[in-house]
Amino acid sequence: MVTFNNRSFAYYQLGNFEKAISDVNRAIELDSSMTALGNRAHYYQISGNHQAAIKDYNELIQQDSSVENFNNLGLSFYYLDEYDKAVLNYRRALEIDSTYSESYNNLSLIYVAKGQFELAINSCNQSITYNPDNVYAFGNRGWANNFLENYDSAIIDFNKVLELDSTFLAAYVNRAISYANLGNLEKACSDYGKAVELGLNDRQANLEELCTNKR
């Protein structure tokens, strides 16, 4: 069982989810341990098979109602746009551990999706309180601030993101949007250019036009 589980992890690291899942299935057949089941749930989630991940996380929770399992179950519901079920599971996670930064941050994504930007910012604040280096919480708070047209506050958040991770592509794009809305095209185009340099695939038509015309 250990051999199949270890090999499945090696395939996962190589991005070969089909072989990773095949091996972890063999491991579960030999010994249905929580470790192997947890690995399969994670592989399903990362590969985008959220229905299968939900099934595995529900089974895991029957054996181990941990904060991580509830949080991950909520995440798969989020990716399926089942926001109410996602919120329910994030809140269950926080009932177990009210300091769990990731669940607060994940709640902020749902609030942004629903257009509840103040609630998103509040959730990010809580996430940052319990993990001051949570780069995603700073990024999401900046994102919500952009929607509220709090561009100066958004820039401060994106600055922090890039202080923690200078290759965080989305922070350059979103900070470029902040600068553009403040009329600072030089900084906007500099950030957008950095995002393109880092491999931006989802090109922003408005920024493309602004920066092209600026030249």
Co-location of 173 and 205 in the same domain: yes
Cα angle value 200/163/202 (rounded, 5°): 10
pTM over 0.85: yes
Co-location of 86 and 137 in the same domain: no
Co-location of 82 and 121 in the same domain: no
What pLDDT score was predicted for residue 12?
67
Q: How many domains does the chain have?
A: 2
Per-residue pLDDT of the chain (215 residues; tens, 9 = 90+): 557 667 776 766 777 777 778 877 777 777 667 788 888 899 999 999 999 999 999 999 999 999 999 999 999 999 999 999 999 999 999 999 999 999 999 999 999 999 999 999 999 999 999 999 999 999 999 999 999 999 999 999 999 999 999 999 999 999 999 999 999 999 999 999 999 999 888 778 788 888 887 66
Co-location of 136 and 80 in the same domain: no
What pLDDT score was predicted for residue 14?
72
Co-location of 71 and 105 in the same domain: no
Distances (CA, A) of 174 to 17, 42, 145, 193, 200: 31, 29, 10, 12, 12
Co-location of 111 and 207 in the same domain: yes
Domain ends where: 90, 118, 136? 90
Co-location of 72 and 112 in the same domain: no
Co-location of 124 and 62 in the same domain: no
Question: Which residues, 6 or more positions from 116, have their beta carbon under 8 angstroms from its beta carbon?
Answer: none
Q: Give me the CATH number covering residue 14.
A: 1.25.40.10
Which residue range forms the structural domain that includes residue 9?
A: 1-90
Co-location of 122 and 49 in the same domain: no
Co-location of 66 and 124 in the same domain: no
Co-location of 129 and 86 in the same domain: no
**Pure H helices in the chain:** 2-13, 17-30, 34-47, 50-63, 67-79, 83-96, 101-113, 117-130, 135-147, 151-164, 169-181, 185-197, 205-214
Co-location of 129 and 46 in the same domain: no
What pLDDT score was predicted for residue 214?
67
